Amino acid sequence: MNNNSEWISAGYVTEGVSEKIDLVKEINRLKKEKNAIIMAHYYQVKEIQEIADFVGDSLALAQQAAKTNADIILLAGVFFMGETAKILSPDKKVLVPDLNAGCSLADSCPADAFEAFVKQYPNHEVVTYVNTSAAVKALSDIVVTSTNAVAVINSIPKETPILFGPDRNLGNYLQGLSGREMILWDGACHVHEKFSVEKIAQLKKDHPNALLLAHPECKKPLLIMADFIGSTAALLKYSVENKSKEFIVATEAGIIHQMQKASPEKLFIPAPPMDSTCGCNDCEFMKLNTLQKIYLTLKHEYPEVYVDEDIRLKALKPIERMLDLSAKLKL
Ligand code: 13P
Ligand code: SF4
């Protein structure tokens, strides 16, 4: 455990770094020296995606964390992703570049309030989205990501009532697709809720051939307009396989790096939020991670993710249930 009080209060290593240091070279050296792996979510800045050993959506990151041989996992994403990696790989050291990289959706579901909510619905299957704290996962029967949510809901016997949390938009979307009524927790992601339907409708007029791709965390009026709805990995796959040359992308703008890399000849337009003059929608938590913080995190092996062992064991069961089902369905 590190005792540097300045780092502890900042939530990351605050040490200055000389401009002469080649961060990419140093990160690669430290990775090798410490047998560390960098796993990055699609919403990271492109420099981080490029230096990562593995880039993926939240399901792929969890799958990778469960099977890596590295001694250290550096998770460049948000805190719940680091926690999920630690739950699955308790013997590894799991590092995150900045402890302040939280998630508004996970924060919209405090464990004590969720526990009281769950108690009101005894007999319900408690299905939670992976964007939650370990303590909320520990209260769950099964975890889902946006890649496997439909398959998980469909795997639950029809006569079993379902309680779903914390994302109301994903929950509504799943109710529509599965035809199952579910008790929903009233949470949301501030990034996906702030896309402007009006500005997107204008963009569609300006680019009549562009297809609108949307993440299911977006609000219903936007999802109704979308040509394709899916997880970040599904949106990327669709953009590669679909013959269209133009796409409007309604999720965090970091994903566009992989889309553009896979299809350099296509045009990807970030969907604009309501309240900004810039054209794209960034998750400020995801964007707290920088190459400099990754370098310092690997150098000092700080900040590290810890999960209480009792909570870890309880949270492990619903995550493993999800991974087993995903493996069976080849997701
Ligand atoms: P994915 O599961 O599609 O990676 O989404 C994670 C996330 O945080 C979406 O906001
Ligand atoms: Fe959380 Fe939303 Fe950021 Fe995803 S985009 S990490 S759901 S705040």
Q: Residues 4-20: pLDDT tens digits?
A: 999 999 999 999 999 99
Rounded Cα distance, 125 and 143, in Å = 11
- H/E stretch holding 112 reads helix 111-120
Residues 258 and 296 in one domain: no
Higher pLDDT, 239 or 280: 239
User: Residue range 261-285: average pLDDT?
Assistant: 90
pLDDT grade, residue 275 (50/70/90)?
Answer: confident
Which pLDDT belongs to residue 110? 98
Model confidence at 2: pLDDT above 70: no
Q: Is residue 49 part of a domain?
A: yes
DSSP line for 276-303? -SSSS---TTGGG--HHHHHHHHHHT-S
Which residue owns the Cα nearest ligand 1 atom 4? 57
Q: Which domain holds residue 261?
A: 195-270
Which pLDDT belongs to residue 330? 84
Ligand nearest to the CA of 42: 1
DSSP letter for 69, please. -
Q: What is the pLDDT of residues 170-220, one digit of tens each?
A: 999 999 999 999 999 999 999 999 999 999 999 999 999 999 999 999 999
Residues 220 and 294 in one domain: no
Ligand nearest to the CA of 188: 2
Residues 245 and 172 in one domain: no
Q: Is residue 2 part of a domain?
A: no
Q: How many domains does the chain have?
A: 3
Instruction: Give φ, ψ of 87 to 5 degrees.
Output: -60, -40
Atom of ligand 1 nearest to the CA of 57: 4
Model confidence at 37: pLDDT above 90: yes
Average pLDDT for the chain: 96
The rounded Å distance from CA 219 to ligand 1 centre is: 15
The rounded Å distance from CA 33 to ligand 1 centre is: 31
The rounded Å distance from CA 273 to ligand 2 centre is: 14
Rounded Cα distance, 137 and 128, in Å = 7
Residues 90 and 130 in one domain: no
Residues 122 and 184 in one domain: yes
Residues 144 and 64 in one domain: no
User: Residue range 113-140: average pLDDT?
Assistant: 98
pLDDT grade, residue 325 (50/70/90)?
Answer: very high
Q: Is residue 38 part of a domain?
A: yes
Rounded Cα distance, 324 and 331, in Å = 10
Which residue owns the Cα nearest ligand 1 atom 2? 58
Q: What is the pLDDT of residues 287-308, one digit of tens each?
A: 999 999 999 999 999 999 999 9
Higher pLDDT, 25 or 280: 25
Atom of ligand 1 nearest to the CA of 286: 8
- Please enumerate in sequence order all residues whose Cβ is within 8 A of that of 191, keeping only pairs 6 or more positions apart, or say none: 104, 217, 252, 273, 281, 282, 283
Residues 221 and 142 in one domain: no
Tokens, residue 322: 């999800």
Q: Is residue 281 part of a domain?
A: no
Residues 89 and 114 in one domain: no
Q: Is residue 276 part of a domain?
A: no
Residues 112 and 30 in one domain: no
**What pTM value is reported for the model?**
0.95
Q: Is residue 159 part of a domain?
A: yes
Q: What is the domain-level CATH number for residue 234?
A: 3.40.50.10800
Q: Is residue 275 part of a domain?
A: no
Residues 14 and 90 in one domain: yes
Residues 185 and 123 in one domain: yes
Q: Could you tell which of 107, 131, 170, 219 is best to mutate to test the pocket of ligand 2, judged by most ligand atoms within 8 Å of the CB?
A: 131
Model confidence at 276: pLDDT above 90: no
Residues 80 and 111 in one domain: no
Which pLDDT belongs to residue 1? 56
Which residue owns the Cα nearest ligand 2 atom 6? 103
Please choose, from the candidates 158, 159, 183, the residue with its C-alpha nearest in 3D space to the C-alpha of residue 172: 183
pLDDT grade, residue 277 (50/70/90)?
Answer: low
Model confidence at 279: pLDDT above 80: no
Question: Does the CB atom of residue 231 touch ligand 1 within 6 A?
Answer: yes
Q: Is residue 94 part of a domain?
A: yes
Q: Could you tell which of 217, 249, 256, 323 is best to mutate to test the pocket of ligand 1, judged by most ligand atoms within 8 Å of the CB?
A: 217
Which pLDDT belongs to residue 183? 98
The rounded Å distance from CA 58 to ligand 2 centre is: 11
At residue 200, the 3 state secondary structure works out as helix
The rounded Å distance from CA 20 to ligand 2 centre is: 34
Pocket of ligand 2 (CB under 6 A): 78, 103-105, 131, 189, 191-192, 252, 283, 285-286
The rounded Å distance from CA 267 to ligand 2 centre is: 24
